[in-house]
Structure 1
């Protein structure tokens, strides 16, 4: 299933002239630790499936849905028999400001089951099955239809988490909308300035809150802390820089917004379970191995 893996970086094999890839996979094959810039959605249809992402291991039952965020290292383990949908949509060319908020809610991944998400699970499962049918239909405007359905899945998740984080809120609708707009602006600002020396107090003032009130609201609206969100953005950028052998680890740390090498090393290992050098070596070793395989002469039986 993984066709373009260099080290642990996968270049998703999108359908020609699109940013979508879907497999109805029945292979008895495990896939080593890897990451890519697309989302990944996995749903076993027949039998179970095991996924490791970060510190978490997920034993997916038939119908369970796991959504993995872009740039997250994960590993896949298949049973001897089984079938599953593996969908990889790339949203890099779609500019929607709410995506950052929803991605932070899902990050690093989100398991959606009938028990944990009874109100939205049926709709999300239905949309995923429709995506599969649309993908293999080769119909006109299939890509647009598929993206619209995936974005609808993200909206269901975002709105359900918003309700979960504010179950008994006394805020008026207008005030809630105002807060959402503010935190959309904040996350967009962080996404554009993460390599700079950003501090909680500075961003809180930019949003018009005290730092304590801001920290609490940021957690409510993004499902993560301010500094964790900031560091995740920095580490995502660092991964892409590490693929360039001309850059030293110190240069990668600096260009990603870290003020010290030790802070960068600590955060990188915390989020990826390996050091930046180990991450780079995995990329280089596999690249060298693939090059050697391509140079190996093929012996014909009649030679």
Structure 2
């Protein structure tokens, strides 16, 4: 359906925040230019703009008009409008009116924001049932949410550019505020609303994982602790949390490794051992898969002075 669709590898400005935000400004385009480009693309079957990435994307239009395409939906965006694309969801944009455009693109890996304290809330954004683009109706219909989210995105952009003391706290709090606005204004119930009792039942397993990341974690052992069969446990975990138990364990191991890399001077081999990964090559592979950089690059980047 999306020929020549490109898998975009997002390079984070701050791997610990797992995000990238930047502004795109285009030069003035005439009506003739737009029509010519559209005709050329149609004749050549040129769909090179279609792409996807693991990160969720927010698109805020500051000036001009563009049309965003995702799934079978197209959204016309003017000044102050926002579009949301889910993780790995194919999408593209096209300028649809003459003039210039300015837009802020904000990409973020929400998996990095899963922790014990936010598990009940974050599981709603797991996209188990449908992509997050199903929430675009909120930005279209709720002016207050749209304007507040636009303000938060602009503040995140400013914080990332300034790099002032504590900018990480400022950015992460605004990200959670954006998600909270979506969660509390999803009147059509498009998010994943699995019974929270499932999370409650699995909480001992989550706690056990958190406290035993330095060792081997066996599904058989943990399911036994919860008096659940192996099969029932892995199915229940995926349904409640939105990711497989194996993926969850890998995520928690790598997040702990990130913390150790930034807060200690121990060797990378020792970090790997501390998070229960004895094979250093395997550790590098998993770390790079989640961060698009090696553990050493991650440590060096985050220790570089800002400003």
| TM-score normalised by the chain length of structure 1 | 0.53
The equivalent of 1:217 in structure 2 is 236
Matched, 1:121 2:136: yes
Q: Which moved more, 1:89-98 or 1:218-227?
A: 89-98
1:219 CA displacement: 1.5
Structure 2: gaps (5+ residues): 1-11, 27-54, 69-74, 88-94, 155-172
The equivalent of 1:9 in structure 2 is 14
**Contact between 1:162 and 1:221, CA under 8 Å: does it hold in 2?**
no
- Pairing partner for 2:180 from 151, 168, 177: 151
1:236 CA displacement: 1.9
1:145 CA displacement: 11
Matched, 1:98 2:120: yes
**Contact between 1:268 and 1:275, CA under 8 Å: does it hold in 2?**
yes
Q: Secondary structure at the match of 1:9?
A: coil
The equivalent of 2:36 in structure 1 is none
Q: Secondary structure at the match of 1:151?
A: helix
Aligned Cα RMSD in Å? Answer: 5.2
The equivalent of 2:222 in structure 1 is 203
Structure 1: gaps (5+ residues): 1-6, 13-22, 29-38, 50-59, 69-78, 137-143, 167-175, 295-303
Alignment of 1:13-52 (within 5 A): 42-45=58-61, 46-47=65-66
Change (3 A) 1:270 1:132: closer
1:204 CA displacement: 1.3
Matched, 1:83 2:103: yes
**Contact between 2:213 and 2:253, CA under 8 Å: does it hold in 1?**
yes
1:229 CA displacement: 0.8
- Pairing partner for 2:285 from 266, 269, 272: 266
Alignment of 1:111-190 (within 5 A): 112-113=132-133, 117=134, 120-123=135-138, 126=142, 127-132=145-150, 150-154=179-183, 156=186, 160-162=190-192, 176-190=195-209
Structure 2 CA distance for aligned equivalents of residues 11 and 278 of structure 1:
12
1:234 CA displacement: 1.1
Q: Secondary structure at the match of 2:192?
A: helix
1:209 CA displacement: 0.9
**Contact between 1:8 and 1:283, CA under 8 Å: does it hold in 2?**
no
* Count, aligned residues: 223
Matched, 1:231 2:247: no
Structure 2 CA distance for aligned equivalents of residues 282 and 146 of structure 1:
22
Alignment of 1:44-63 (within 5 A): 44-45=60-61, 46-47=65-66, 62=77, 63=82
| TM-score normalised by the chain length of structure 2 | 0.52
Structure 2 CA distance for aligned equivalents of residues 187 and 247 of structure 1:
27
